[in-house]
Amino acid sequence: MKFPKINFDNMKNEGTSSVTPQERRKFLKLGLAVAGVYAGGKILSLTSIVGTAHASGGSSIVKKYPYNPHYSMVIRQSLCIDCEKCVESCNKTNHVPEYGYRTRILTKKYSGTLDKQVEFIPVLCNHCNDAPCVRACPTRATFKDPITGIVRMESKKCIGCKTCILACPYDARYFSAERRAVDKCDFCWEERLSKGETQTGCSSACPTGARTFGNLTDPENIVYKLVHQLEEQVWVLRPADDTKPNIFYMKGNMRSVDNILNGQKFKYFDPDKV
């Protein structure tokens, strides 16, 4: 894949709320292949995010991701129906106590809209490349896995100071009395991935395909394809904190997404898949 030489990394991602499709189209006509620059100074498209998310301070766009497999999740927000099967599956897989959670579904209500009044936003640990929690931990009890990029816990080292809980801008951590350590999403590394499975508990339980888990370094992978398409905006939560998150969000209800995905079309509401 070819990237145009534009210094996207120094531009600031300011969010995606105010951009109309016309503006996007206008921009696309400029002939920029991958990234989107909004005339008002905003970068919208995935490349800027991928760029800021993964460049290590250099000004060029990084074509290589720092981890392999670089685990990542794309959340197609419009597909989420708040059935909470993912949360259930996560709790069961990872033995999450009833007072805690590793992932949850947030509800956003709109008024004055014509199509929908409510949207559901699944949130979980973003496995940040510049993870504030990892920097904050005094004993390196929480660490970034050097191979997969998963932010994991070494429970026996956790002194329970709870600094990481406050350092996390995504509320992804809680103290688990059972483990006597902070607990958080590890992309099911301990319970599934390290045992050879390829999907997390939540992504495999999701009946609509709202959660898509995969490897960002593999051009054949669905996650790669979703992040590297241009038709739909991709964003991350709280970009201003500059943690370089690995959970990407998109609306995900356009037909074109499925066209791009070719063979990997997701079966919406496939009754067999529960």
Residues near 45 by beta carbon (within 8 Å), at least 6 away in sequence: 34, 35, 36, 230, 233, 234
Q: Is the dihedral of CA 230, 51, 188, 174 positive or negative?
A: negative
| 173 forms part of the interface with ligand SF4 (CB under 6 A) | yes
Residues near 152 by beta carbon (within 8 Å), at least 6 away in sequence: 142, 143, 144, 145, 186, 189
| 37, 46, 80, 158: residue in contact with ligand SF4 (rule CB under 6 A) | 158
Site string for ligand SF4, 43-72 (x = CB under 6 A): ------------------------------
Shortest distance in whole angstroms from residue 179 CB to another protein: 10
| 19 forms part of the interface with ligand SF4 (CB under 6 A) | no
Shortest distance in whole angstroms from residue 179 CB to ligand SF4: 10
CA distance linking residue 238 with residue 115, whole number of Å: 26
Residue 128 interacts with which of ligand SF4, another protein, none, CB < 5 to 8 Å by class:
ligand SF4
Query: Within positions 122 to 181, which residues make up the interface with another protein, using CB under 8 A?
Result: 123, 132, 135-141, 156-163, 165-171, 173-175, 177, 180-181
CA distance linking residue 181 with residue 175, whole number of Å: 6
CA distance linking residue 174 with residue 262, whole number of Å: 40
Tokens of 219: 């051009």
Q: By C-beta, is 75 or 137 nearer to ligand SF4?
A: 137
Q: Do 234 and 45 meet the contact criterion of CB atoms below 8 Å apart?
A: yes
**Phi/psi class of residue 140: alpha, beta or left (left: φ > 0; alpha: ψ in -120 to 50)?**
left
Peptide bond into 169 cis (omega under 30): no
**CA Rg, the chain, in Å?**
19
Site string for another protein, 249-268 (x = CB under 8 A): --------------------
| 121 forms part of the interface with another protein (CB under 8 A) | yes
| 43, 87, 131, 206: residue in contact with ligand SF4 (rule CB under 6 A) | 131
Residues lying near another protein in the complex (CB under 8 A): 99-100, 104, 106-109, 121, 123, 132, 135-141, 156-163, 165-171, 173-175, 177, 180-181, 237-238, 241-243
Site for ligand SF4, rule CB under 6 A: 125-128, 131-133, 136-139, 141-142, 151, 158-164, 168, 170, 172-173, 182, 184, 243
